[in-house]
Structure 1
Amino acid sequence: MSLRVTVWNENVHETTQPEIAAIYPRGIHGAIAEGLAELLGEAAEIRTATLADVEHGLSEEVLRHTDVLLWWGHIAHDQVSDEVVERVQRHVLSGMGILVLHSGHFSKIFKKLMGTTCSLAWRNEGERELVWTVAPAHPIAQGIEQPLVVEQQEMYGEFFDIPVPEELVFISSFSGGEVFRSGVTYTRGRGKVFYFSPGDQDYPVYQQPQIRRVLANAVRWAAPVAAERRLPEVSNPATGWFLES
């Protein structure tokens, strides 16, 4: 059965700033979806959704038929409906995988899943980023160069206010000397979460083959293990009684 993937992007920069539209003429979501299609091929069915779509393109029907959701947001976090955020969280807890990308660290859904401010240090001067693999045996790191070089990127640095990662896959270093936990994983309920920072709107990062490989690897990793998706529950196996949480 094919992996069902939904790539979500607020799609504001690309529709309001011609210089960014020139970098991503099909939107950031289009570039990400293109990379996934190249690497996953017939193993995946890929759809895209944006903030302007009805229900932000994330209706109950769409999420029910999504195995892995990728989320990119930046300047319109506050415009995302709380109802949609609650819906996405419920599906993650039920088993849907989610990849939160770059400035999605400040999205409502990531902060809700983490339970922290998700604040960090930053500056945008187009510095070189080196992405170092610190878990070479991890499925997400397979086939990734050491280091993965991003010639121009917004600097994200510590302190990054997130819970201690279950797995630290990548650490980045920048020309200014900062370091950053740039690839981390979590489990929330039955769902897998991967945060990956490289990918600013001002630079063609999502066109880099190695960045695309990280995302394709992460989609495979985050896919639900069980065919049936349901919320964790309070149960008594001896009696067969359960109460959905």
Structure 2
Amino acid sequence: MIKVTVWNENRHEQKNPTVQEIYPKGIHGAIAEFLENAGHDVKTATLDEPEHGLTEEVLNNTDVLVWWGHLAHDEVDDEIVNKVQQRVLDGMGLLVLHSGHFSKIFKKLMGTSCDLKWREADEKERIWIVNPSHPVANGLGEYIELEKEEMYGEHFDIPAPDDLVFVSWFEGGEVFRSGCAYNRGKGKIFYFRPGHETYPTYYNKDVQTVITNAVSFLAPTGSQAPVYGNAKPLEAIGAK
């Protein structure tokens, strides 16, 4: 059983009646529900909790952290960001969703601006599976089609992914690298694009499959931590 913490800033749900109607339990609640149904041990955390709900105890007991943010990236405390970064380097998985591309933690781990083009015009998104052998693509067809979503377009200012799994096409003509996997230290990161708050994207079964697969993919492997610094030789070194 994978221990998952679903983090959401939980601000749109407090301000926007449309979002409240679509996600009455919050975006975090909707995601947590289908991950629980998949058999994971799931907890949620939000921005306005003490330490943003990400105490040292919570982080140390999290295998995979799911991150959704938008309005309040700057309100996330730098000390918490540093703790999350260290946990990723130590082996915790991180799943960054939609507008989480601009979160402090994603930008810190990427080392770039993570900027992009965007447009909100109720347009179709077709997410093409360009790496069908990747574990995150298990159980999917050739593409996922969403009737209405916010557009994200290239150039997406991120490092080249270690694995590119999905590429999106939008009705207005843009394309976007929408499923990107990275390795950082002992940990793995996956960025998944869709999930604008005014659309019911997280109820889509294929989207739920991607997120569920990603949690399994990102879970720590349990491998031994590497040892750094001055090292004694494994074999006798002959005199030169």
- TM-score w.r.t. the length of structure 1 is 0.93
What do the CA deviations read for 1:28-80 (whole angstroms, capped 9, x no partner)?
A: 00111112122x22xx2100000011100001100000000000000100110
* Cα deviation, residue 227, structure 1: 6.3
Are the counterparts in 2 of residues 171 and 180 from structure 1 also a CA contact under 8 Å?
Answer: yes
Q: Identify the residue that residue 4 of structure 1 maps to in structure 2.
A: 3
Residues of 1 paired with 2:10 and 2:223: CA distance? Answer: 32
* Identical columns (%): 57
| Cα distance, 1:237 vs structure 2 | 4.2
1:14 match: secondary structure: helix
Distance 1:14 1:146 in 2: 33
Confirm whether residue 52 of structure 1 aligns to residue 28 of structure 2.
no
Which segment is superposed worse, 140-149 or 56-65? 140-149
Count of residues in Structure 1 that have an aligned counterpart in Structure 2: 234
For residue 237 of structure 2, what is the aligned residue in structure 1? none
**Mapped pair 1:146 → 2:142:** yes
2:22 corresponds to 1:26: no
Offset of residue 145 of structure 1: 2.5
Question: What amino acid is the match of 1:220?
Answer: S
Report if the CA contact (8 A) 1:145-1:210 is conserved: no
Q: Tell me, yes or no, if the aligned pair for 1:33 and 1:47 is still in contact at 8 Å.
A: yes
Q: Secondary structure at the match of 2:106?
A: helix
| The one of 120, 129, 132 aligned to 1:133 | 129
What is the rounded CA distance, in whole Å, between the counterparts of 2:183 and 2:122 in structure 1? 33
Equivalent residue, structure 2, for 1:37:
36
Query: Structure 1 counterpart of 2:54, which letter?
Result: L
Q: CA 1:85 to 1:156, structure 2 compared with 1: closer, same or farther past 3 Å?
A: same
* C-alpha distance in 1 between matches for 2:100 and 2:45: 15
- Report whether the alignment pairs 1:195 with 2:191: yes
Structure 1 consecutive aligned stretches of length 4 or more whose deviation exceeds 6 Å = none
In 2, Cα distance between the equivalents of 1:87 and 1:212?
Answer: 28
* Aligned equivalent of 1:92, options 74, 88, 92: 88
Distance 1:28 1:131 in 2: 21
- Measured after TM superposition, the shift of residue 233 of structure 1 is 4.9
Deviation per residue, 1:191-233 (Å, 9 max, x gap): 00000001110100001111001000000000000166x6x65
The CA deviation string for residues 156-175 of structure 1, in whole angstroms up to 9 with x for no partner, is 00000000110000000000
What's the counterpart of residue 243 of structure 1?
none
After superposition, what is the alpha-carbon deviation per residue over 1:118-172, rounded to whole angstroms, capped at 9, x for unaligned?
Answer: 0001000111100000000000001112210111100000000000110000000
Residues 159-198 of structure 1 aligned to structure 2 (within 5 Å): 159-198=155-194
1:64-75 pair list within 5 angstroms: 64-75=60-71
Query: RMSD value over aligned CA atoms?
Result: 1.3
Unaligned residue ranges in structure 1 (runs of 5+): 241-245
Cα distance in structure 2, aligned partners of 1:35 and 1:198: 17
User: Is 1:234 matched up with 2:228?
Assistant: yes
